[in-house]
Structure 1
Amino acid sequence: MRSTTAKDLYNLMVRANWGFSSTMSRSRGFGGKAQQLDRKCATKAVKKTLFNDSVISISSTYVEIVDAGNRLRGITSFFGLMGLVPTLVGMGAFLYVLFLYNERLPLVVYVFIWLAVFTFVFIAAPCLNTLLRWDMFRKTHYPMRFNRRDRKVYAWSQDMGVVTMNWDDIQFYTSQSTASEDRRGLARDEIRGYVRDRAGNMLYHLVFFKYQGRKNMQGALEIWELVRRYMEEPDGHIQAYQVDQRLLDLDGKRESFIHSLIQATQVLADSRAVQLIFAPMVMWAGTGRIIAKWTCRVPRWPEWVEEKCRVDPNDPYVRNRHTERPLTAKEILWPLFCYLLGWAEVLAILYFCFRGYF
Structure 2
Amino acid sequence: MFEGFTRYQLNRPLTDEEKAARLPTGEPCSATPKDGFTAFSISESCLEISDARFRDKGYGLLAFLLPGMASLAGILLILWMMTHMPPIYAERGETGIVYGGLSFCLVIFMGLFGVGVWAMMRDCFGYTRYPIRLSRQNQMIYAFRHNGPGGLVSVPWDKAFFYVERRAKAGAARTASRLVRCLVLSDSGQVIDTFSLGKRVVLAFEEDSEVGQQVMGEFYSFFEYYRRFMADGASAVPPITQFLPTKISLRNSLKMQFEDVSDIVNSPNPALWLLFALTAIPSVIQGCLNYLAQLTCREPVWPEDVERACNAAPRTTKRLAT
Mapped to 2, the partners of 1:199 and 1:291 lie a distance apart of 43
Alignment partner for residue 71 of structure 1, among 51, 55, 69?
Answer: 55
Structure 1 unaligned segments of length 5 or more: list them. 1-7, 333-358
Query: How much does 1:238 deviate?
Result: 1.3
Contact 2:131–2:143 (CA under 8 A) maintained in structure 1: yes
Query: How much does 1:29 deviate?
Result: 7.2
TM-score (norm 2): 0.80
TM-score (norm 1): 0.72
- Taking every aligned residue pair, what percent have the same amino acid on both sides? 21
Q: Deviations over 1:56-75 (max 9, x none)?
A: 00001100011111122212
SS in structure 2 of the partner of residue 189 of structure 1: strand
Aligned length: 294
Closer/same/farther in 2, CA of residues 24 and 141 from structure 1, 3 Å limit: farther
Q: Within 5 A, what are the aligned runs for 1:105-184?
A: 105=89, 106-107=94-95, 108-121=97-110, 123-157=111-145, 161-177=151-167, 181-182=168-169
Query: How much does 1:192 deviate?
Result: 1.8
Which residue identity lines up with residue 299 of structure 2 in the other structure?
A: V
Root-mean-square deviation (CA, aligned residues, Å) is 3.0
Q: Equivalent residue for 1:271?
A: 264
Which residue identity lines up with residue 254 of structure 2 in the other structure?
A: L
Closer/same/farther in 2, CA of residues 61 and 40 from structure 1, 3 Å limit: same
Q: Equivalent residue for 1:232?
A: 231
Alignment partner for residue 194 of structure 2, among 198, 205, 210?
Answer: 205
Query: How much does 1:54 deviate?
Result: 0.8
Structure 2 unaligned segments of length 5 or more: list them. 204-213, 266-272
Q: After the TM superposition, which of the residue ranges 223-232 and 302-311 deviates more from structure 2?
A: 302-311
Contact 2:5–2:119 (CA under 8 A) maintained in structure 1: no
Query: How much does 1:55 deviate?
Result: 0.5
Q: Within 5 A, what are the aligned runs for 1:277-296?
A: 277-296=278-297
Query: How much does 1:186 deviate?
Result: 7.0
Which residue identity lines up with residue 262 of structure 1 in the other structure?
A: K
Which residue identity lines up with residue 23 of structure 2 in the other structure?
A: L
Q: After the TM superposition, which of the residue ranges 107-116 and 58-67 deviates more from structure 2?
A: 107-116
Contact 2:41–2:47 (CA under 8 A) maintained in structure 1: yes
Query: How much does 1:154 deviate?
Result: 0.9
Q: Within 5 A, what are the aligned runs for 1:232-271?
A: 232-233=231-232, 236-240=233-237, 242-250=238-246, 254-266=247-259, 271=264
Query: How much does 1:212 deviate?
Result: 2.9
SS in structure 2 of the partner of residue 164 of structure 1: strand
Which residue identity lines up with residue 38 of structure 2 in the other structure?
A: S
Verify: 1:89 aligned to 2:86, yes or no: no
Query: How much does 1:282 deviate?
Result: 1.6
